Protein backbone atom coordinates (compact mmCIF):
# COMPACT_ATOMS: atom_id res chain seq x y z
CA UNK A 1 0.00 0.00 0.00
CA UNK A 2 1.23 3.48 -0.82
CA UNK A 3 2.06 5.58 2.23
CA UNK A 4 0.79 9.08 1.49
CA UNK A 5 3.46 10.82 3.53
CA UNK A 6 6.35 9.36 1.57
CA UNK A 7 7.82 10.21 -1.81
CA UNK A 8 6.79 7.84 -4.61
CA UNK A 9 9.67 6.60 -6.73
CA UNK A 10 9.29 4.52 -9.87
CA UNK A 11 11.95 1.81 -9.81
CA UNK A 12 13.21 0.29 -13.07
CA UNK A 13 16.01 -2.22 -12.38
CA UNK A 14 15.96 -3.39 -16.02
CA UNK A 15 18.21 -6.22 -17.22
CA UNK A 16 21.43 -8.04 -16.35
CA UNK A 17 23.61 -6.31 -13.79
CA UNK A 18 21.07 -3.47 -13.73
CA UNK A 19 18.97 -5.69 -11.46
CA UNK A 20 21.97 -6.59 -9.30
CA UNK A 21 23.32 -3.10 -8.61
CA UNK A 22 19.78 -1.74 -8.23
CA UNK A 23 18.94 -3.78 -5.15
CA UNK A 24 22.29 -2.79 -3.62
CA UNK A 25 21.50 0.90 -4.08
CA UNK A 26 18.13 0.41 -2.36
CA UNK A 27 19.92 -1.14 0.63
CA UNK A 28 22.13 1.94 0.85
CA UNK A 29 19.15 4.31 0.60
CA UNK A 30 17.50 2.37 3.44
CA UNK A 31 20.64 2.57 5.54
CA UNK A 32 20.72 6.34 5.02
CA UNK A 33 17.24 6.50 6.52
CA UNK A 34 15.59 7.52 3.26
CA UNK A 35 11.99 6.38 3.19
CA UNK A 36 9.98 6.13 -0.01
CA UNK A 37 7.27 4.11 -1.71
CA UNK A 38 9.11 2.19 -4.41
CA UNK A 39 6.81 1.39 -7.31
CA UNK A 40 8.30 -1.25 -9.57
CA UNK A 41 8.01 -0.71 -13.34
CA UNK A 42 8.83 -3.12 -16.16
CA UNK A 43 11.38 -2.09 -18.74
CA UNK A 44 13.97 -3.70 -21.00
CA UNK A 45 14.69 -6.90 -22.86
CA UNK A 46 12.15 -9.12 -21.10
CA UNK A 47 9.38 -6.70 -22.09
CA UNK A 48 10.62 -6.61 -25.68
CA UNK A 49 10.68 -10.40 -25.97
CA UNK A 50 7.26 -10.93 -24.38
CA UNK A 51 5.41 -7.79 -25.51
CA UNK A 52 7.28 -6.40 -28.51
CA UNK A 53 7.92 -3.18 -26.57
CA UNK A 54 10.89 -2.54 -24.26
CA UNK A 55 9.14 0.49 -22.75
CA UNK A 56 5.55 -0.55 -21.95
CA UNK A 57 2.85 2.11 -21.78
CA UNK A 58 2.15 1.18 -18.12
CA UNK A 59 5.71 2.21 -17.23
CA UNK A 60 5.28 5.56 -18.99
CA UNK A 61 2.03 6.09 -17.08
CA UNK A 62 3.69 5.37 -13.73
CA UNK A 63 6.38 7.93 -14.51
CA UNK A 64 3.79 10.45 -15.70
CA UNK A 65 2.12 10.05 -12.35
CA UNK A 66 5.11 9.99 -9.98
CA UNK A 67 7.74 11.90 -12.00
CA UNK A 68 10.83 10.46 -10.31
CA UNK A 69 12.51 7.34 -11.63
CA UNK A 70 15.50 5.30 -10.57
CA UNK A 71 16.85 3.15 -13.39
CA UNK A 72 19.42 0.31 -13.47
CA UNK A 73 20.44 -0.68 -16.99
CA UNK A 74 18.90 -2.42 -19.97
CA UNK A 75 20.11 -4.70 -22.72
CA UNK A 76 19.83 -3.42 -26.29
CA UNK A 77 20.62 -5.44 -29.42
CA UNK A 78 20.82 -4.54 -33.10
CA UNK A 79 17.49 -4.51 -34.95
CA UNK A 80 17.84 -7.88 -36.69
CA UNK A 81 18.99 -9.67 -33.56
CA UNK A 82 16.15 -8.08 -31.62
CA UNK A 83 13.59 -9.26 -34.16
CA UNK A 84 14.94 -12.84 -33.95
CA UNK A 85 14.61 -12.96 -30.18
CA UNK A 86 10.94 -11.88 -30.08
CA UNK A 87 8.67 -14.61 -28.70
CA UNK A 88 7.34 -16.80 -31.53
CA UNK A 89 3.80 -15.38 -31.38
CA UNK A 90 5.09 -11.84 -32.05
CA UNK A 91 7.50 -12.59 -34.89
CA UNK A 92 6.89 -11.07 -38.29
CA UNK A 93 4.19 -8.72 -36.97
CA UNK A 94 6.15 -5.53 -37.59
CA UNK A 95 7.47 -4.90 -34.08
CA UNK A 96 10.57 -2.69 -34.15
CA UNK A 97 13.02 -2.43 -31.25
CA UNK A 98 13.68 1.02 -29.78
CA UNK A 99 15.98 1.71 -26.83
CA UNK A 100 13.73 2.37 -23.83
CA UNK A 101 16.15 4.79 -22.16
CA UNK A 102 16.33 6.91 -25.32
CA UNK A 103 12.53 6.59 -25.46
CA UNK A 104 12.21 7.90 -21.88
CA UNK A 105 14.51 10.85 -22.57
CA UNK A 106 12.38 11.82 -25.57
CA UNK A 107 8.94 11.15 -24.10
CA UNK A 108 9.62 13.15 -20.94
CA UNK A 109 11.84 15.71 -22.64
CA UNK A 110 14.66 14.94 -20.20
CA UNK A 111 16.80 17.62 -21.76
CA UNK A 112 19.52 17.96 -19.15
CA UNK A 113 21.92 15.12 -18.48
CA UNK A 114 24.17 15.64 -15.47
CA UNK A 115 27.29 13.49 -15.14
CA UNK A 116 29.50 14.13 -12.10
CA UNK A 117 33.10 12.91 -12.46
CA UNK A 118 34.79 13.10 -9.10
CA UNK A 119 37.94 11.29 -8.05
CA UNK A 120 37.75 9.57 -4.68
CA UNK A 121 41.01 9.62 -2.80
CA UNK A 122 42.70 6.22 -2.83
CA UNK A 123 40.87 4.90 -5.87
CA UNK A 124 43.57 2.94 -7.71
CA UNK A 125 41.84 3.84 -10.99
CA UNK A 126 42.41 7.58 -10.52
CA UNK A 127 44.45 9.32 -13.18
CA UNK A 128 48.04 10.12 -12.17
CA UNK A 129 50.45 12.55 -13.82
CA UNK A 130 54.21 12.49 -14.01
CA UNK A 131 55.95 15.18 -11.99
CA UNK A 132 59.76 15.15 -12.12
CA UNK A 133 60.84 11.66 -11.08
CA UNK A 134 57.67 11.11 -9.12
CA UNK A 135 53.99 11.47 -9.89
CA UNK A 136 51.02 13.46 -8.68
CA UNK A 137 47.34 12.61 -8.48
CA UNK A 138 45.16 15.60 -9.35
CA UNK A 139 41.86 15.78 -7.52
CA UNK A 140 39.19 15.87 -10.24
CA UNK A 141 35.74 17.22 -9.45
CA UNK A 142 33.95 17.98 -12.69
CA UNK A 143 30.23 17.91 -13.38
CA UNK A 144 29.26 17.67 -17.05
CA UNK A 145 25.91 19.11 -18.16
CA UNK A 146 25.09 17.48 -21.48
CA UNK A 147 22.16 18.65 -23.60
CA UNK A 148 20.21 15.43 -23.96
CA UNK A 149 17.52 15.95 -26.60
CA UNK A 150 18.84 18.07 -29.48
CA UNK A 151 22.01 18.54 -31.50
CA UNK A 152 23.37 15.66 -33.52
CA UNK A 153 21.09 13.25 -31.63
CA UNK A 154 17.85 14.93 -32.69
CA UNK A 155 17.42 12.22 -35.33
CA UNK A 156 16.74 14.57 -38.26
CA UNK A 157 18.86 12.83 -40.84
CA UNK A 158 18.77 11.24 -44.28
CA UNK A 159 20.73 9.16 -46.72
CA UNK A 160 19.41 10.20 -50.13
CA UNK A 161 17.51 13.24 -48.81
CA UNK A 162 14.20 14.06 -50.53
CA UNK A 163 14.32 16.60 -53.34
CA UNK A 164 12.69 19.42 -51.35
CA UNK A 165 15.29 19.00 -48.59
CA UNK A 166 18.09 19.17 -51.12
CA UNK A 167 16.72 22.24 -52.81
CA UNK A 168 16.17 23.96 -49.47
CA UNK A 169 19.78 23.23 -48.53
CA UNK A 170 20.99 24.49 -51.87
CA UNK A 171 19.83 27.97 -50.91
CA UNK A 172 23.04 27.94 -48.81
CA UNK A 173 26.09 28.89 -50.92
CA UNK A 174 28.30 26.28 -49.24
CA UNK A 175 25.97 23.53 -50.47
CA UNK A 176 27.08 24.17 -54.05
CA UNK A 177 30.00 21.77 -53.91
CA UNK A 178 27.64 18.87 -53.08
CA UNK A 179 25.27 19.71 -55.93
CA UNK A 180 26.30 16.85 -58.19
CA UNK A 181 26.59 14.15 -55.53
CA UNK A 182 24.03 11.42 -56.32
CA UNK A 183 21.35 11.10 -53.61
CA UNK A 184 22.37 7.57 -52.65
CA UNK A 185 25.89 8.86 -51.98
CA UNK A 186 24.76 11.76 -49.82
CA UNK A 187 24.17 11.37 -46.07
CA UNK A 188 23.09 14.30 -43.91
CA UNK A 189 22.73 14.41 -40.12
CA UNK A 190 21.58 17.74 -38.78
CA UNK A 191 22.78 19.53 -35.65
CA UNK A 192 19.79 21.42 -34.33
CA UNK A 193 20.05 23.71 -31.28
CA UNK A 194 17.18 25.80 -29.92
CA UNK A 195 17.68 28.93 -27.85
CA UNK A 196 15.35 27.82 -25.03
CA UNK A 197 17.19 24.49 -24.65
CA UNK A 198 20.62 26.21 -24.68
CA UNK A 199 19.48 28.77 -22.20
CA UNK A 200 17.87 26.19 -19.91
CA UNK A 201 20.91 23.94 -19.65
CA UNK A 202 23.28 26.89 -19.12
CA UNK A 203 21.12 28.40 -16.40
CA UNK A 204 20.76 25.03 -14.66
CA UNK A 205 24.54 24.58 -14.86
CA UNK A 206 25.12 27.97 -13.21
CA UNK A 207 22.53 27.26 -10.52
CA UNK A 208 24.22 23.93 -9.82
CA UNK A 209 27.64 25.61 -9.66
CA UNK A 210 26.25 28.12 -7.18
CA UNK A 211 24.49 25.50 -5.03
CA UNK A 212 27.49 23.18 -4.83
CA UNK A 213 30.14 25.95 -4.80
CA UNK A 214 31.94 25.33 -8.08
CA UNK A 215 34.09 28.29 -9.19
CA UNK A 216 33.60 28.06 -12.94
CA UNK A 217 31.23 27.07 -15.72
CA UNK A 218 32.96 26.07 -18.97
CA UNK A 219 31.13 25.93 -22.28
CA UNK A 220 32.83 23.16 -24.25
CA UNK A 221 31.84 23.50 -27.92
CA UNK A 222 33.46 24.57 -31.19
CA UNK A 223 32.12 28.04 -32.06
CA UNK A 224 35.05 28.96 -34.31
CA UNK A 225 33.92 26.29 -36.81
CA UNK A 226 30.34 25.31 -35.98
CA UNK A 227 29.37 28.94 -35.79
CA UNK A 228 25.61 28.81 -35.61
CA UNK A 229 24.88 26.10 -33.04
CA UNK A 230 27.98 26.41 -30.86
CA UNK A 231 27.69 30.15 -31.37
CA UNK A 232 24.18 30.17 -29.92
CA UNK A 233 25.42 28.30 -26.84
CA UNK A 234 28.19 30.88 -26.41
CA UNK A 235 25.83 33.82 -26.82
CA UNK A 236 23.34 32.48 -24.26
CA UNK A 237 26.16 31.69 -21.82
CA UNK A 238 27.44 35.27 -21.94
CA UNK A 239 23.97 36.60 -21.19
CA UNK A 240 23.17 34.20 -18.37
CA UNK A 241 26.56 34.51 -16.69
CA UNK A 242 25.79 38.14 -15.83
CA UNK A 243 23.33 36.80 -13.22
CA UNK A 244 26.18 34.87 -11.57
CA UNK A 245 29.03 37.36 -11.11
CA UNK A 246 30.88 35.11 -8.62
CA UNK A 247 31.20 32.21 -11.05
CA UNK A 248 33.74 32.40 -13.86
CA UNK A 249 32.59 31.70 -17.41
CA UNK A 250 35.15 29.89 -19.58
CA UNK A 251 35.01 28.63 -23.16
CA UNK A 252 36.96 25.67 -24.48
CA UNK A 253 36.89 23.86 -27.82
CA UNK A 254 36.00 20.19 -27.56
CA UNK A 255 39.15 19.04 -29.35
CA UNK A 256 41.48 21.11 -27.18
CA UNK A 257 39.52 20.12 -24.07
CA UNK A 258 40.15 16.45 -24.82
CA UNK A 259 43.85 17.19 -25.30
CA UNK A 260 43.97 19.08 -21.98
CA UNK A 261 42.03 16.35 -20.23
CA UNK A 262 45.11 14.82 -18.67
CA UNK A 263 47.01 18.10 -18.40
CA UNK A 264 44.85 20.06 -15.98
CA UNK A 265 41.58 18.25 -15.22
CA UNK A 266 41.59 19.70 -11.69
CA UNK A 267 41.06 23.21 -13.09
CA UNK A 268 37.49 22.58 -14.27
CA UNK A 269 34.22 22.69 -12.35
CA UNK A 270 30.93 22.58 -14.23
CA UNK A 271 31.12 21.89 -17.98
CA UNK A 272 28.25 22.47 -20.43
CA UNK A 273 28.11 20.94 -23.91
CA UNK A 274 25.71 19.92 -26.63
CA UNK A 275 24.65 16.31 -27.01
CA UNK A 276 27.56 14.82 -28.97
CA UNK A 277 30.37 16.82 -27.35
CA UNK A 278 28.76 16.27 -23.94
CA UNK A 279 28.82 12.52 -24.53
CA UNK A 280 32.50 12.68 -25.49
CA UNK A 281 33.75 15.01 -22.79
CA UNK A 282 31.83 13.22 -20.00
CA UNK A 283 33.26 9.83 -21.00
CA UNK A 284 36.70 11.46 -21.10
CA UNK A 285 36.43 12.81 -17.57
CA UNK A 286 34.80 9.60 -16.32
CA UNK A 287 37.88 7.74 -17.53
CA UNK A 288 40.06 9.83 -15.21
CA UNK A 289 38.09 8.89 -12.10
CA UNK A 290 37.44 5.17 -12.33
CA UNK A 291 35.32 4.57 -15.42
CA UNK A 292 32.04 2.73 -15.67
CA UNK A 293 32.06 1.33 -12.13
CA UNK A 294 31.83 4.90 -10.82
CA UNK A 295 30.03 6.91 -13.53
CA UNK A 296 26.62 8.12 -12.30
CA UNK A 297 24.11 10.32 -14.08
CA UNK A 298 20.80 12.16 -13.95
CA UNK A 299 18.36 12.95 -16.76
CA UNK A 300 16.36 16.00 -15.74
CA UNK A 301 13.32 17.42 -17.52
CA UNK A 302 11.00 20.22 -16.46
CA UNK A 303 8.64 17.81 -14.73
CA UNK A 304 10.30 14.40 -14.62
CA UNK A 305 13.73 13.18 -13.58
CA UNK A 306 15.39 9.79 -14.00
CA UNK A 307 18.65 8.73 -12.33
CA UNK A 308 20.89 5.97 -13.71
CA UNK A 309 24.45 4.70 -13.82
CA UNK A 310 26.16 5.27 -17.17
CA UNK A 311 27.03 1.60 -17.60
CA UNK A 312 24.87 -0.97 -19.35
CA UNK A 313 23.66 -4.44 -18.37
CA UNK A 314 27.11 -6.12 -18.79
CA UNK A 315 25.55 -9.45 -19.85
CA UNK A 316 28.82 -11.38 -19.48
CA UNK A 317 28.80 -10.71 -15.73
CA UNK A 318 25.06 -10.87 -15.16
CA UNK A 319 24.98 -14.54 -14.13
CA UNK A 320 28.08 -14.71 -11.93
CA UNK A 321 27.17 -15.72 -8.39
CA UNK A 322 28.19 -14.00 -6.24
CA UNK A 323 28.22 -10.94 -8.45
CA UNK A 324 31.54 -9.20 -9.08
CA UNK A 325 30.39 -5.83 -10.49
CA UNK A 326 30.94 -2.49 -8.81
CA UNK A 327 27.74 -1.06 -7.28
CA UNK A 328 29.23 2.46 -6.82
CA UNK A 329 27.88 3.97 -10.06
CA UNK A 330 24.34 2.92 -9.10
CA UNK A 331 24.78 4.03 -5.47
CA UNK A 332 26.08 7.43 -6.60
CA UNK A 333 23.15 7.74 -9.04
CA UNK A 334 20.79 7.15 -6.11
CA UNK A 335 22.67 9.95 -4.29
CA UNK A 336 21.94 12.27 -7.19
CA UNK A 337 18.28 11.41 -6.79
CA UNK A 338 18.48 12.33 -3.10
CA UNK A 339 20.11 15.67 -3.99
CA UNK A 340 17.35 16.33 -6.52
CA UNK A 341 14.75 15.62 -3.84
CA UNK A 342 16.48 18.04 -1.46
CA UNK A 343 17.79 15.24 0.79
CA UNK A 344 21.26 16.77 0.72
CA UNK A 345 22.30 15.53 4.14
CA UNK A 346 21.48 11.88 3.37
CA UNK A 347 23.28 12.16 0.01
CA UNK A 348 26.35 13.60 1.76
CA UNK A 349 26.31 10.78 4.29
CA UNK A 350 26.33 8.17 1.54
CA UNK A 351 29.03 9.95 -0.45
CA UNK A 352 31.20 10.23 2.66
CA UNK A 353 30.77 6.51 3.33
CA UNK A 354 31.72 5.74 -0.29
CA UNK A 355 34.77 7.99 0.03
CA UNK A 356 35.78 6.34 3.33
CA UNK A 357 35.56 2.82 1.89
CA UNK A 358 37.63 3.78 -1.13
CA UNK A 359 40.25 5.63 0.88
CA UNK A 360 40.58 2.78 3.37
CA UNK A 361 41.23 0.45 0.41
CA UNK A 362 40.35 -2.82 2.17
CA UNK A 363 37.34 -3.61 0.01
CA UNK A 364 37.76 -3.33 -3.75
CA UNK A 365 35.77 -4.78 -6.62
CA UNK A 366 37.55 -6.49 -9.54
CA UNK A 367 37.57 -3.37 -11.72
CA UNK A 368 39.41 -1.42 -9.00
CA UNK A 369 42.09 -4.12 -9.00
CA UNK A 370 42.29 -4.05 -12.80
CA UNK A 371 41.49 -7.75 -13.02
CA UNK A 372 39.78 -9.41 -15.96
CA UNK A 373 36.22 -10.13 -14.82
CA UNK A 374 35.42 -13.75 -13.88
CA UNK A 375 34.53 -15.83 -10.82
CA UNK A 376 38.29 -16.15 -10.18
CA UNK A 377 38.58 -12.55 -9.01
CA UNK A 378 37.65 -13.49 -5.45
CA UNK A 379 40.82 -15.59 -5.16
CA UNK A 380 42.75 -12.55 -6.32
CA UNK A 381 41.47 -10.34 -3.54
CA UNK A 382 38.39 -8.77 -5.11
CA UNK A 383 35.26 -8.09 -3.10
CA UNK A 384 31.81 -9.07 -4.33
CA UNK A 385 29.11 -6.53 -5.21
CA UNK A 386 27.38 -7.27 -1.92
CA UNK A 387 30.58 -6.98 0.15
CA UNK A 388 31.24 -3.58 -1.42
CA UNK A 389 27.73 -2.40 -0.52
CA UNK A 390 28.08 -3.83 2.99
CA UNK A 391 31.31 -1.88 3.41
CA UNK A 392 29.56 1.37 2.43
CA UNK A 393 26.66 0.66 4.78
CA UNK A 394 29.00 -0.18 7.67
CA UNK A 395 30.66 3.24 7.30
CA UNK A 396 27.28 4.90 7.69
CA UNK A 397 26.50 3.26 11.03
P1 LIG B 1 28.36 -2.22 -20.38
O2 LIG B 1 28.42 -0.89 -19.73
O3 LIG B 1 27.21 -3.07 -20.01
O4 LIG B 1 29.66 -3.03 -20.06
C5 LIG B 1 30.94 -2.75 -20.61
C6 LIG B 1 32.02 -3.26 -19.67
O7 LIG B 1 32.22 -2.31 -18.65
C8 LIG B 1 31.67 -4.55 -18.94
O9 LIG B 1 31.97 -5.67 -19.66
C10 LIG B 1 32.53 -4.41 -17.71
O11 LIG B 1 33.85 -4.75 -18.02
C12 LIG B 1 32.47 -2.94 -17.43
N13 LIG B 1 31.41 -2.59 -16.46
C14 LIG B 1 30.18 -2.10 -16.73
N15 LIG B 1 29.51 -1.86 -15.61
C16 LIG B 1 30.35 -2.20 -14.59
C17 LIG B 1 30.24 -2.17 -13.19
N18 LIG B 1 29.13 -1.73 -12.56
N19 LIG B 1 31.29 -2.61 -12.46
C20 LIG B 1 32.39 -3.05 -13.06
N21 LIG B 1 32.57 -3.08 -14.36
C22 LIG B 1 31.55 -2.66 -15.14
O23 LIG B 1 28.39 -1.95 -21.96
P24 LIG B 1 28.30 -2.97 -23.18
O25 LIG B 1 28.98 -4.25 -22.86
O26 LIG B 1 28.70 -2.19 -24.34
O27 LIG B 1 26.74 -3.27 -23.35
C28 LIG B 1 26.05 -4.33 -22.70
C29 LIG B 1 24.56 -4.12 -22.89
O30 LIG B 1 24.15 -2.96 -22.17
C31 LIG B 1 24.18 -3.88 -24.35
O32 LIG B 1 22.99 -4.57 -24.60
C33 LIG B 1 24.00 -2.38 -24.43
O34 LIG B 1 23.08 -2.02 -25.43
C35 LIG B 1 23.46 -2.07 -23.05
N36 LIG B 1 23.71 -0.69 -22.59
C37 LIG B 1 22.72 -0.11 -21.85
C38 LIG B 1 22.89 1.14 -21.31
C39 LIG B 1 21.80 1.68 -20.44
O40 LIG B 1 21.01 0.93 -19.93
N41 LIG B 1 21.73 2.97 -20.24
C42 LIG B 1 24.11 1.91 -21.53
C43 LIG B 1 25.14 1.18 -22.25
C44 LIG B 1 24.92 -0.07 -22.77
MG1 LIG C 1 28.16 7.14 -24.08
Domains with residue ranges and CATH for the chain: 1-111+304-397 (3.40.718.10), 127-151+193-288 (3.40.50), 156-189 (no CATH)
Spell out a b/e string for 359-371, using b for 16 or more CB atoms within 10 Å of the CB, else e.
eeeebbbbbbeeb
Of 94, 70, 82, 92, the C-alpha closest to 46 is: 82
Question: Could you tell me the distance, in angstroms and rounded to a whole number, from the CA of residue 313 to the centre of ligand 1?
Answer: 5
**How far, in Å, is the centroid of ligand 2 from the Cα of 394?**
33
Distance of CA 175 to the CA centre of its chain: 36
Say how many Å lie between the CA of residue 146 and the centre of ligand 2. Answer: 11
Position in ligand 1 atom list of the atom nearest CA 72:
40
Supply φ then ψ for residue 47, to 5 degrees: -65, -40
- Between the alpha carbon of residue 47 and those of residues 13, 102, 201, 306, 355, the distances in Å are 13, 16, 33, 19, 37
Exposure of 313 in the CB half-sphere (CA atoms within 13 A)? 21
Q: What's the burial of 89, exposed, middle or buried (CB within 10 Å: 0-12/13-18/19+)?
A: exposed
Residues whose CB falls within 8 Å of the CB of residue 215, separated by 6 or more in sequence, listed in order: 209, 247, 248, 269
Q: What is the pLDDT along the chain (397 residues), one digit of tens a residue?
A: 666 678 999 999 999 999 999 999 999 999 999 999 999 999 999 999 999 999 999 999 999 999 999 999 999 998 889 999 999 999 999 999 988 998 999 899 999 999 999 999 999 999 999 999 999 999 999 999 999 999 998 889 999 999 999 999 999 999 999 999 999 999 999 999 999 999 999 999 999 999 999 999 999 999 999 999 999 999 999 999 999 999 999 999 999 999 999 999 999 999 999 999 999 999 999 999 999 999 999 999 999 999 999 999 999 999 999 999 999 999 999 999 999 999 999 999 999 999 999 999 999 999 999 999 999 999 999 999 999 999 999 999 8
Expressed in angstroms and rounded, the spacing between residue 283 Cα and the centre of ligand 2 is: 7
CA nearest neighbour of 152 among 274, 284, 257, 281: 274
Q: Ligand 2 centroid to 179 CA: how many Å?
A: 34
Entry pTM: 0.95
384 secondary structure, DSSP code: P
The percent helix, strand, coil of the chain (3-state, each to 5) is 45, 20, 35
If residue 36 lies in a helix (H) or strand (E), which one and from where to where? strand 36-40
Give the residue, by CA position, lying nearest to ligand 1 atom 13.
292
The pick from 73, 310, 314, 365 for probing ligand 1's pocket by mutation, whose C-beta has the most ligand atoms within 8 angstroms, reads: 314
pLDDT of residue 153: 87
Buried b vs exposed e over 22-55: b needs ≥16 C-beta within 10 Å?
bbbbbbbbebbebebbebebbbbbebbeebbbbb
Which ligand neighbours the alpha carbon of 317 most closely?
1
User: 320 Cβ partners below 8 Å, 6+ apart?
Assistant: 373, 374, 375
Length of the chain as a residue count:
397
- Residue 343 burial (C-beta neighbours within 10 Å; 0-12, 13-18, 19+): buried
Q: DSSP letters of 133-152?
A: TEEE----EEEEEEE-SSBT
Note whether 194 and 157 are within 8 A (CB): no
- Give, for 28, the enclosing helix (H) or strand (E): helix 17-31
| C-alpha torsion sign, points 387, 40, 14, 281 | negative
Give the alpha-carbon dihedral of 313, 319, 325, 330, to 10 degrees: 50
Q: Which residues are within 8 A (CB) of 107 and not within 5 positions of it... i.e. 6 or more apart?
A: 60
Give the model's pLDDT for residue 73: 98
Helix (H, G, I), strand (E, B) or coil at 218: strand
Instruction: For residue 14, give the ligand 1 atom closest to its CA.
Output: 40
Residue nearest atom 34 in ligand 1 by C-alpha distance: 76
| Ligand 1 residue neighbourhood (C-beta within 6 Å) | 21, 73-76, 101, 292-293, 308, 311-316, 325-326, 329, 367, 373
List the one residue out of 267, 333, 336 whose CA is nearest residue 294.
333
Around ion ligand 2, residues with a beta carbon closer than 5 Å are: 279
Residue nearest to atom 22 of ligand 1 (CA): 293
Q: How far is the CA of 372 from the centre of ligand 1 (A)?
A: 15
The atom of ligand 1 lying closest to the CA of 311 is 2
Calculate how far, in angstroms, residue 126's C-alpha sits from the geometric centre of ligand 1.
20
- What pLDDT does 2 receive? 66
In order of 195, 262, 273, the CA distances from 106 in angstroms are 18, 34, 18
Ligand with smallest separation from the Cα of 48: 1
Instruction: Return the ligand 1 atom nearest residue 21 CA.
Output: 18
**Minimum CA distance residue for ligand 1 atom 8:** 314
Write the CA distances from 246 to 216, 234, 242, 264, 329, integer angstroms: 9, 18, 9, 22, 31
- Burial class of residue 59 in the structure, from the number of CB atoms within 10 Å of its CB (0-12 exposed, 13-18 middle, 19+ buried): buried
- Angstrom distance (rounded) from CA 95 to CA 86: 9
Q: Can you state the angle between helices 344-360 and 385-396, rounded to 10 degrees?
A: 120
Ligand nearest to the CA of 72: 1
Distance of CA 393 from the midpoint of ligand 1 (Å): 25
Alpha carbon distance 392, 206 (integer Å) = 31
Amino acid sequence: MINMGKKNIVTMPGDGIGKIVFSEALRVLDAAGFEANYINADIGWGCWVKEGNALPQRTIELLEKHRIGLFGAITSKPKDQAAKELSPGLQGKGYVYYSPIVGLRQHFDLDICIRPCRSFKGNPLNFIRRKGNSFEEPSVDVVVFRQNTEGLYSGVEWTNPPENVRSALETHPKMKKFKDVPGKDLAISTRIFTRPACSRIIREAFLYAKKFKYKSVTICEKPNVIRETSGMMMEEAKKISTDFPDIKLWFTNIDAQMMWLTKNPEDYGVIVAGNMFGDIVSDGFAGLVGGLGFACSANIGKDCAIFEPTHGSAPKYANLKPSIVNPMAMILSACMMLEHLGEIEKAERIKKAVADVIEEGKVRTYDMLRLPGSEKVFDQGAASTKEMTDAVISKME
